[in-house]
Amino acid sequence: MTILPNILILLTALLVVFFQGAFNGIRDLLGAQVDLLPALMVYTALTSGPVMMMVLSVFAGFMFDTLSVNPLGISVLPLLLIGFLLQLRRDLLLRDQIYAQFALGLIASALAPLMTVLILLTLGQSPLLGWGSLWQWIVMSGGGGIATPLFFFLFDRLNHALGYQPIVESSFRADREIRRGRN
């Protein structure tokens, strides 16, 4: 097993969180910032082991909360739950199909903000909520759904480019060649 794909996933998580804070084109255009971490968690849960899933949820959640006013650790729990549920039913999911990736990303991206807001309210915080939050929720879910197949595509390409390629061995052996002919 190579550690490179895992490092790439963590690096992507870091860049995704920074991107969400530093670039506001989508927020200015649609009124909501898309959260790409649930989409990344879908990819990780379906392609990596449980340890990596937990490492990503803790790392990405902490990084997100560091740049936000969120209480530290609040974003970890939804990511962890999404990753856990996906890995529980991993064998039944058609992870190679784009529509399945989209659907899983959509559901994960819809669940994550709901759970985060629920925990925030449980902790006595008062986040900015209103009817407009429904639109933000739709944008976040849709954005996550679209991003998930893109993550699969991107990481497949990266792993293909950076990972070890399987050596195709030919069954032909010169010393075992049966020579036919008249002697």
Partner 1 sequence: MFKRSYYIAPTLVALLILLVLNLPNSTTVRIKTSLGSVFLPLFGITGVTQQASARVGDNLLPKSELIAENNSLRRQNQQLRLQLAQAATSSKENERLRQLVGWQKQSRWNVKLARVILRDPANWWRTVQIDLGSRNGLSNNIPVLSTEGFLIGRVSSVSLTKSQVVLIDDPNCKVPAIVENEARNQGLITSGGPLDESFVNLTYLLSSANVKPGQRVVTSELSAIFPKGILIGQIADNARLVESGLISEAEVKLAANLSSIEEVWVLFP
Positions that interact with partner 1 (CB under 8 A): 14-15, 17-18, 20-22, 24, 27-28, 31-33, 35, 50-51, 54, 57-58, 61-74, 76-77, 80, 84, 87-88, 113, 116-117, 120, 123, 126-133, 135-136, 140
Tell the smallest beta-carbon distance from residue 41 to partner 1 (Å): 13
Tell the smallest beta-carbon distance from residue 15 to partner 1 (Å): 8
The residue type found at 36 is: L
The gap between the terminal CA atoms of the chain, to the nearest Å, is 52
Tally of CB atoms within 10 A around 94: 11
- What tokens appear for 107 in the block? 């559901």
Query: Which C-beta is closer to partner 1: that of 91 or that of 177?
Result: 91
Tell the smallest beta-carbon distance from residue 102 to partner 1 (Å): 22
- What lies within 8 Å, CB to CB, of 158 at 6+ separation is 5, 8
Query: Which C-beta is closer to partner 1: that of 4 or that of 67?
Result: 67
- Within 13 Å, how many C-alpha atoms sit on residue 98's CB side? 5
Tell the smallest beta-carbon distance from residue 62 to partner 1 (Å): 6
Query: Which C-beta is closer to partner 1: that of 131 or that of 172?
Result: 131
132 with 69: CB under 8 angstroms? no
Tell the smallest beta-carbon distance from residue 98 to partner 1 (Å): 27
Tally of CB atoms within 10 A around 50: 13
Query: Which C-beta is closer to partner 1: that of 44 or that of 70?
Result: 70
- Residue found under tokens 């399987």: 166
Query: Which C-beta is closer to partner 1: that of 132 or that of 163?
Result: 132
